[in-house]
């Protein structure tokens, strides 16, 4: 029996997004270039026209809701890249993302099942902000992985029950090169996130031990990694080697990578999917200048299907466009640009293939022998 997943890259419902939702939080920012979150809404409006406000919780998801309803994934997982809190102190860094707790139904509007928290924004509002995030997610039965009240909790998988006594184990880690401060790492008695300090054999062995200890017969294992910089298509060889070893030696069925603001190429290694960079799904970058060549407003919903052995049996991708601070259907020209880019980058990774039209507005990956 196949397992069908919905995976998304960075979901950042902070700053401008938070301000258009029903329970807008404190708009004060502590950025060197902006001190009011509402200015990000104004930036978006300066580029593409008026954004309504307040909006309901379904607004931001836009066309994604219809796509999700048609695709009917068994589980819906995202990288939630913000704190869910109305308190805390801003960390000593340039950007701080938080979602007002009253706006957390945003995730329920898309029936999200689980959130990755191992990223470079989950502790933007300090340990108090992280504690609030954990409490609010748990109150709404949203499972999470990658951060916790201590190291044991941060390293533990989120466990999702599936049909026929099957389970999915979601582990999550973040590396230093995506901007994670070293002191964010969870400790024996310190809240924090699950940090992957090096992509080496020591950390690989530790991950393998944790996976083996948690895994039961029939379980599928997804490892989320927030890694690398925000821009650029090149996948470092260090990442590729580590991803391959996660599959070959640690028993991971799918590597779910993110941090890049735009989708990167993906790879199928020994029948198992490696997503190196899923791109942003939701953010308030509309109107911000720079890096236009990467077309970061064009992004993807990922729908991989895994067979009973954890191998990839099918991969569908739905292209969407961020505009008016919501997900819209891209134009034919935008779809072609994104398709050409993905096919080119997959070929660069030794994974040549084509994206062919499948269901309405959805592509299916057809790899070449």
> Strand pairing of 195-196 and 158-161?
unpaired
Domain range for residue 70?
A: 3-367
Q: Which helix (H) or strand (E) holds 11?
A: strand 3-11
Q: What is the distance between the alpha carbons of residues 67 and 354, in angstroms, rounded to a whole number?
A: 21
Q: What is the distance between the alpha carbons of residues 355 and 330, in angstroms, rounded to a whole number?
A: 16
User: Virtual CA dihedral for 130, 146, 199, 93, nearest 10 degrees?
Assistant: -20
Res. 164 pLDDT band, cuts 50 70 90: confident
Q: What is the distance between the alpha carbons of residues 184 and 118, in angstroms, rounded to a whole number?
A: 10
Instruction: Match 């991708």 to its residue by tokens.
Output: 317
CA 278 to chain centre: 7
Instruction: Match 């190196």 to its residue by tokens.
Output: 276
| Total domains, the chain | 1
Residue from 277, 221, 227 nearest 247 by CA: 221
Output the CA angle 17-22-23, nearest 5 degrees. Answer: 85
Residue from 60, 110, 78 nearest 258 by CA: 78
Residue 215 main-chain phi, psi, to 5 deg: -75, 140
Q: What is the distance between the alpha carbons of residues 92 and 311, in angstroms, rounded to a whole number?
A: 42
Both tokens of 159, joined, read 């466990």
What is the per-residue pLDDT across 270-310, written as a single tens digit (0 to 9) for each? 999 999 999 999 999 999 988 989 999 999 999 999 999 99
Q: Is the dihedral of CA 216, 218, 219, 223 positive or negative?
A: positive
Res. 332 pLDDT band, cuts 50 70 90: very high
Q: Cα separations (Å) of 240 from 63, 105, 229, 274?
A: 33, 36, 15, 9
Confirm whether pTM is higher than 0.85: yes
pLDDT the model gives residue 246: 98
The CATH number of whichever domain residue 222 belongs to comes to 3.60.21.10
What is the per-residue pLDDT across 176-198, written as a single tens digit (0 to 9) for each? 999 899 899 999 999 999 999 99
Mean pLDDT (whole number) for 83-90 = 93
pLDDT for residue 79 is more than 90: yes
Residue from 103, 338, 168, 242 nearest 255 by CA: 242
Write down how long the chain is. Answer: 369
């Amino acid at each position: 029996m196949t397992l069908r997943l919905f995976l998304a890259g960075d979901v950042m419902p902070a700053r401008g997004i938070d301000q258009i939702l029903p329970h807008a939080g404190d708009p004060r920012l502590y950025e060197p270039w902006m001190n009011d979150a509402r200015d990000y809404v104004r930036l978006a409006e300066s580029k593409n026209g008026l954004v309504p406000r307040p909006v309901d919780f379904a607004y931001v998801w836009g066309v994604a809701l219809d796509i999700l309803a048609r695709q009917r994934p068994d589980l819906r997982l995202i990288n939630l890249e913000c704190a869910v809190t109305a308190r805390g102190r801003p960390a000593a860094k340039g950007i701080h993302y938080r979602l007002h707790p009253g706006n957390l139904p945003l995730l329920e509007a898309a029936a999200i099942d689980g959130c990755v928290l191992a990223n470079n924004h989950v502790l933007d509002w300090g340990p108090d902000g992280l504690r609030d995030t954990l409490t609010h997610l748990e109150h709404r039965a949203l499972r999470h992985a990658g951060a916790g009240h201590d190291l044991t909790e941060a390293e533990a998988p989120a466990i999702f029950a599936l049909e026929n006594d099957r389970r999915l184990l979601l582990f999550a880690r973040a590396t230093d090169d995506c901007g994670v401060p070293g002191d964010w790492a969870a400790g024996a008695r310190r809240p924090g996130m699950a940090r992957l300090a090096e992509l080496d054999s020591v950390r690989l062995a530790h991950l393998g031990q944790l996976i083996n200890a948690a895994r039961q017969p029939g379980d599928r294992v997804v490892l989320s990694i927030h890694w690398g910089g925000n821009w650029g298509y090149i996948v470092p060889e260090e990442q590729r080697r580590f991803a391959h070893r996660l599959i070959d030696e640690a028993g991971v069925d799918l590597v779910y990578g993110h941090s890049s603001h735009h989708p990167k190429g993906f790879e199928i290694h020994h029948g198992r999917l490696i997503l190196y960079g899923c791109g942003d799904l939701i953010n308030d970058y509309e109107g911000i200048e720079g890096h236009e060549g990467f077309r970061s407003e064009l992004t993807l919903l990922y729908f991989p299907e895994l067979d009973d052995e954890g191998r990839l049996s099918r991969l569908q991708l739905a292209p969407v466009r961020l505009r008016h601070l919501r997900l819209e259907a891209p134009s034919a020209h935008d779809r072609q640009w994104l398709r050409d880019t993905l096919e080119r980058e997959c070929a660069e990774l030794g994974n040549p293939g084509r994206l062919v039209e499948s269901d309405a507005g959805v592509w299916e990956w057809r790899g070449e022998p």
